[in-house]
Amino acid sequence: MGREIERKFLVNGDHWRSEADTGIVFRQGYLSLEPDRSVRVRLAADRGSLNIKGKISTLSRHEFEFEISAEDACEILDKLCIQPLIEKTRYRLTRGGLIWEIDEFAGDNAGLIIAEVELESVEQGFDAPEWLGEEVSHDPRYLNINLVTTPYSQWPDRSPHKG
């Protein structure tokens, strides 16, 4: 069984860009918007995938991913997925032995930039890069699945919620 332990942070400034790769454009959509489980279809460059996640805790989820053809991914995104789709460019960089994925959103979520890091355990520590902003792991608004139903462009207050 796959398992994902992930922490999310807002990004301050553009200093990360000099360390990041060139980025890959993503289009992704959801077939299910259940709060504790999701079914996502993604097209990343020319690679299609089907992803199923189930919540274990705020930071941890069961995760299963299956490759599908780019053609099937496009058809599912255009004809079956709940709109709007998530559009973003994902950049990757390595810091302190960890791979950081930085998502710069476009479309209805333009202006939002989130850094994610996958960890081996919930307790694992790491050195925070200087461009790392406030942690939003516990704020459900920043989950991609919730950015479909309430895009960043519609938020009256675009700061992280406390609590």
How far is residue 128's CA from residue 30's CA, in Å, rounded to a whole number?
Answer: 31
152 given a catalytic annotation = no
* Exposed / middle / buried, residue 43 (Cβ in 10 Å: 0-12, 13-18, 19+): buried
Q: What are phi and psi of 151, to 5 degrees?
A: -60, 155
Q: Which of 30, 91, 142, 152 is catalytic?
A: 30
Residue 32: C-alpha distances to residues 57, 59, 82 (Å): 19, 20, 8
Residues designated as active site: 30
